[in-house]
Chain A
Amino acid sequence: MRKFKRIASQAGFGFAVLMLISPAILVFLWMISLSLKNEVDNMAFPPVFVPDPPTLANFAEVFARNDFLTYTLNSIITSFGATALAIAVGVPAGYGIAKMRATRAAVLILIARITPGLSYLIPLFLLFQWLGLTGTLTPIVVTHLVITVPIVVWVMIGFFEGLPGELEEAALVDGATIWQAFRHVALPLSRPGITVATILSFIFSWNNFIFAVVLAGRETRTLPVAVYNVLTFEQVSWGPLAAAALLVTAPVLLLTLIAQKEIVTGLTAGGVKGG
């Protein structure tokens, strides 16, 4: 009897876990299924679940649209650019804030985190118009700094606060300047933190929609904006649309699978999220 009870409770627990992960599985599998089926099967009701035979025609159609590669390039430039700039200014800043125990600077970063993305856009939109920069990628990279810089600074403050200071102090006693202590002692030790910050800021920049939807011209759309425009302005069938959606989100999903541990560490520590 007791054994039966234990098995029943284990089965119940297994069922609970299955219920928890099934919405994620359903949506992602459905996305893949739509992207691999022909139009007849996509429009069938009751729905066809397993593509038979699977077709890559939808992906071919996405790539045949000459601008898809341009948008991919735009997304790559934007996300890498905004992440690299954020690392360049954010890592030293995280170090400085941690060393100075400048809580006020940290609070500023927090407020930046809670401000809605649209509120930055109105002034920046006008600013870029005056500067005549609309229609280039510069405004998009610059506005993405709004997301990436707070993430990097926040992760790095936490990281540098956790580092023991003895090694740097030893370097300072030996006559190193604080810059040298940072460059040759703290920076090499902080590589895991930089990895976490890079991954998170890249993902949230890649996923961002709101800045580019306002600032991008026809030539400078990032991938999320491009698939959104496909949805609204042209009647496109479900297959190519799902294929495009899958292509847009696949890089970040793969990155999540590869760097799961780093992402979990970063998110648990600060609850960072862009946008």
Chain B
Amino acid sequence: MSASAGTGVAGGVATPARPLRRNYARRYAGFIVPAAVVVVAVIVFPWVFTLYMSVHDWKIGGARSYVGLENYITLFSDERFGWAVLRTLWFTLLAVVAPMVLGVLAAVCFHRKFPLRGVARTIFILPMMATPVAVALVWTMMFHPQLGVLNWILTSLGLPPSAWVYDASTVIPTLVLVETWHWTPLVMLIVLGGLASLPTDPYEAAKIDGANGWQAFRHITLPLLMPFIVVSLIIRTIDALKAFDTIFVITQGGPGTASETINILLYLQAFAFYQMGYASAIVVVFFAIIILLALALLWTRSRARIA
């Protein structure tokens, strides 16, 4: 937002001397060349090559042949892929809503001044920086149905024990719990940054008008925070769609295929079954889903701004 505004201002000032300005800018191209080489080699080349592979029957160690859209046709009639898509969307929905709600709440809490705030905030941020695989191992031990500490906590509170990741009906919510634990801090940080940038005048006016705390939050804070909430919503959605480490380490898609998301299926097709062509087609469709969801969220954001 601010970047485009900045460009607009500079463009306006520089209009009379535009050719000169362009030329001036081009001199800086040299700075970008090394990074551009790296980006083309490790980022752009894989994109293009994936597209190329997705229209081939490509197995490691086997023959390869051009098959047109056959991989995509197989993919769309593959029931396992269909379930993986639905599962991914279900997981994403839960793993977006829970961290968003908790993250906004936490940001509001950490915006207030209280003793030991710095310490509490540091502890709250730690999960985001912790190595996902290492933490996933500890979660696995905590989820143990007989010896796990979580079932001990549940039964001490008088609640029935859960099968956690060992039952098809509870595995997705349990993985969402881990994802929420990891990424709520990121939502909190972005929204906290938003809170810090809010103006104070509307609150004083509202106070004079006799608004209570909730009304002020609902009618002033929340609308002003919207841009930040939407940014964190987009980031969270993309990250939830891409979730891999914790699911792979804790369940590997199991029990059965109950937690097999697109990413897990993709891994299996590519690096367990070595169906590189088919896996590439999954990548392309997966990427399309991510882009579509991100664009849909951006679109609601621009609509919200007009309203």
Contact = CB atoms under 8 A, between A and B. Distances in A.
Interface secondary structure of B, over-half rule: helix
Interface in A99-128: 99-103, 105-106, 108-109, 112-127
Given A103-B7, A210-B245, A253 B270 contact: no
Contacts of B53: 122-123
A275 B133 contact: no
A179 B27 CA distance: 10
B208 interface: no
A271 B231 contact: yes
Q: How many B residues touch the partner, as a band?
A: 35 or more
A20 B131 contact: no
Given A47-B149, A245-B137, A248-B131, A23 B181 contact: yes
A20 B270 contact: no
B6 A161 contact: yes
Contacts of B28: 95-96, 99-100, 178
B185 to A, nearest CB: 8
Interface stretch (A66-74, A145-153, A190-198): A145-153
A267 interface: yes
Contact of A249 (B29, B123, B135, B286): B135
A150 to B, nearest CB: 8
Interface in B1-35: 3-4, 6-7, 10, 25-32, 34-35
Given A101-B25, A122-B46, A116 B34 contact: no
A45 B46 contact: no
Nearest to B106: A20
Contact of B138 (A34, A178, A207, A210): A34
Interface in A170-218: 178-179, 182, 203, 206-207, 209-210, 213-214
A102 B32 CA distance: 10
Interface in B188-233: 189-190, 192-193, 231-232
Interface string B40-57: 001111110110010000
Contacts of B43: 108, 112, 115, 120, 146, 149
28 contacts: A24-B126, A28-B126, A45-B147, A47-B147, A85-B38, A89-B35, A92-B31, A92-B32, A92-B34, A93-B35, A100-B25, A100-B28, A100-B32, A101-B3, A106-B3, A114-B291, A119-B287, A122-B276, A129-B60, A149-B38, A149-B42, A228-B137, A228-B249, A242-B138, A245-B134, A248-B131, A260-B122, A275-B244
Given A24-B124, A245-B135, 5 more contacts: A112-B43, A113-B238, A241-B141, A263-B129, A275-B244
Interface of B: 3-4, 6-7, 10, 25-32, 34-39, 42-47, 49-50, 53, 60, 102, 105-106, 109, 112, 114, 120, 122-135, 137-142, 146-147, 149, 152, 156, 181, 186, 189-190, 192-193, 231-232, 235, 238-239, 241-242, 244-245, 248-249, 263, 266-267, 270-271, 276, 279-280, 283, 286-287, 290-291, 294
Interface of A: 13-14, 16-17, 20-21, 23-25, 27-28, 30-31, 34, 43-47, 85, 88-90, 92-93, 95-97, 99-103, 105-106, 108-109, 112-127, 129, 142-143, 145-146, 149, 153, 161, 178-179, 182, 203, 206-207, 209-210, 213-214, 223-225, 227-228, 231, 238, 241-242, 244-246, 248-249, 252-253, 255-257, 260, 263-264, 267-269, 271, 273, 275
